[in-house]
Amino acid sequence: MNAAQLPPVAPEVTATLVEGLSPRLRKRLDAAVTKLAARPTHRDGDTTTIEVDDETELRLHAPGGVVAKVEDVTCGCLLAPACVHRAAAACAAPAADLAPEPAEQATPEAPGPASGTAPAAVGPDAARALGLNVAPASGPDAATGVAANAAPGRAPNTAPDAATPHETASPDQRAAADALWSAGAAVLEAGVDGAGAVTQSALLRAAHTARLRHLPRAAGTALSVVTLLRAARAGNPSYRTAELVTALAELLGTAHRVGTASGAELAAVRGRVRRPYSPDGSLRLYGLFTEPVVTDSGHGGVRTWVAGADGRLFTVGDVAPGGAGRALGVADRAVRLGDSALTHRELGRAGLAVSGATVSPDGRLGAGKAVKAVTARGAVWTEPPLAALWGTPPAEQAARALRSTSRYADPDGTGSDLLFLDVELLGAIREPGGACLLAQCEGGVRVRLTVADDDPALAHRDNLALLAAAPGTRLRIIGRLIPATHPRLTLLACTHPTGEGTVDLGLDRLRRADLPDPSAPAHFAPPQPAGPGGPSPLYLLERRVEQTVPAGRAALGLLSDVTAEARRIRRGGLPTAAALLTALCASAAQRDRDLFGRLLPADTDGFAAYWLAAARYTAAVSESLCAAAWNATEGDQVAVPPVPVHDVAG
């Protein structure tokens, strides 16, 4: 049985079923989930049936596609309804997010690439010993160098609800945030290996309570944590530890801020259940390019980017279950927007005149019945208004894109992670993960261009290999920023090497005859240094932050003395990172005893506070290093910008 075969189950249903089990059955729950996953499943209309054994069936009734009531899960065994099978089925099924999309969003987009304070015992003494204030700031998070937009595994992009300037969280909201903090801290304590169905159930209950208390941002993040935990425990190849680190830090940070936030900050912390589409009048749009979208969850489709006369960027998407094959097919289907008969490929090079437009905060164009759109003349990349997109210096574009891709910002959905550059190709360079294309742009900044998707059905890799055989070629490109300590982009579109037209690098295939010298082999540029001053020792702290997630606090507490690592970090100019590493490992190892020598419960809240501070700090420094790299020309020394560390947990 694949979890995708089961209908989504509401978080409160799973939590209620698990909470109703006896302590003996709770101990058997994880084994029951594994056993049930191997049983055959079939669906008939709204009902999914699992064959528990040769004589027993378990049914999940999902009217509307979601199991919304405890009574909708039934089992035919002798112990029902107090059996372990019902809870196991709910834990094996995907967690349902009951926040609906607006009705006018006719074409679904891919799931994200997704949005009270802690108890008084959140390690304040240890935090003061470091000189850190782990309470949230009274203002926005700009001081930590973080900005908007959710990463994979975070809550959906949400626009903030309105709030009065002095409004604060209600007691019920603070209590809900406390529960979220405790549930998140329990995950850190146990690690992925120990965060089984019971721990996940506590997260689901806390998420449901937070949703009822009008904290959808934190509730959505808690659901993301549960989804990632299940993927990790199931050995899903698409799972990435870094995504769970981000989701956990977002959950803990948001829960921690609820109690002290007010006004606009409180509105951002609360979030919004739905992505609102607001009227935007009449728009004159010019096509830029179309990119294929293939997700790890099995979705496929395309996203077409267009620009308004004022330079604003918008997208029109069509993404649904189907993978790379669907992406290639949808590219030649008509865009679902008004009366336009343009396909996505055609729109990427043509234009639209739209009346009654509606737009989401992240730039998605709504496809409601009132929207009217007709085909209009497009513009080439060297003509107004598109030419202005390439007029901004690369460093400014990178800073703007960083504000859009930052991992822990308030998700207002604004901004774009695209960069528009004029480059000269230098050739391929070899990296540990393979080869990428090196190019030089304005100011002498050398940028690495990589493929957006390795799927062999798409054209990305073949096109990049051909461009590597054309050193000296000047191109106008569009790429997506990859936060790194050196300038790096995924290459999405470029002008044609012959100078005529543009190329959607995931859909259109270049030919060797398109190159200036068709017989030239791939050219490899000279090896590039790791960066002025060498790689940052920040990774020594980052790996301890990541190590906690799969193995739990105890594994970090078993480490030997980290004095040598802390000394190396301090020599690299990051004294706060060194202090955080020392304090994090000390907190993980700390276990007090009572008067009789018995071990007291570990300080999970204090450890969670240190871990959160370290996760937020490493993200802020990494983003600062990325911004500095785009400002540096060849031969410059990249200095680490000062990163304020007060409120890094906020």
- Each residue's pLDDT tens digit, 7-17: 999 999 999 99
pLDDT of 64 > 80? The answer is yes
Mean per-residue pLDDT, 567-596: 89
Model confidence band, residue 2 (pLDDT cutoffs 50, 70, 90): low
Residue 162 has a pLDDT of: 59
Residue 142 has a pLDDT of: 29
- Each residue's pLDDT tens digit, 204-261: 999 999 999 999 999 999 999 999 999 999 988 889 999 999 999 999 999 999 988 8
- Each residue's pLDDT tens digit, 297-350: 678 999 999 999 999 999 999 988 888 999 999 999 999 887 788 999 999 999
Q: Which of 226-230, 257-261, 531-535, 643-647 has the weakest average pLDDT?
A: 643-647
* H-run or E-run covering 171: helix 171-194
Q: What whole-number distance in Å separates Cα of residue 258 and Cα of residue 213?
A: 12
Strand 47-51 to 57-61 pairing: antiparallel
- The type of residue at 277 is Y
User: Mean pLDDT across the chain, nearest whole number?
Assistant: 83
Q: What whole-number distance in Å separates Cα of residue 64 and Cα of residue 644?
A: 48
Sequence-distant (≥ 6) Cβ neighbours of residue 315 within 8 angstroms: 303, 304, 305, 306, 363, 364, 365
- The type of residue at 124 is P
pLDDT of 490 > 50? The answer is yes
Q: What whole-number distance in Å separates Cα of residue 219 and Cα of residue 546?
A: 23
pLDDT of 620 > 70? The answer is yes
Q: What whole-number distance in Å separates Cα of residue 228 and Cα of residue 243?
A: 8
Q: For tokens 């920040």, name the residue.
A: 538
pLDDT of 36 > 60? The answer is yes
* H-run or E-run covering 17: helix 11-19
* pTM of the entire predicted model: 0.80
pLDDT of 627 > 70? The answer is yes
Helix (H, G, I), strand (E, B) or coil at 27: helix
Taking the CA atoms of 278, 282, 284 and 289 in sequence, report the sign of the dihedral they define: positive
Could you tell me what percent of the chain has a pLDDT over 90?
57
- Each residue's pLDDT tens digit, 144-191: 222 223 333 333 333 445 567 778 999 999 999 999 999 999 999 999
pLDDT of 387 > 90? The answer is yes
**Cα–Cα–Cα angle for 105, 358, 340, rounded to 5 degrees:** 75
Q: What whole-number distance in Å separates Cα of residue 281 and Cα of residue 371?
A: 10
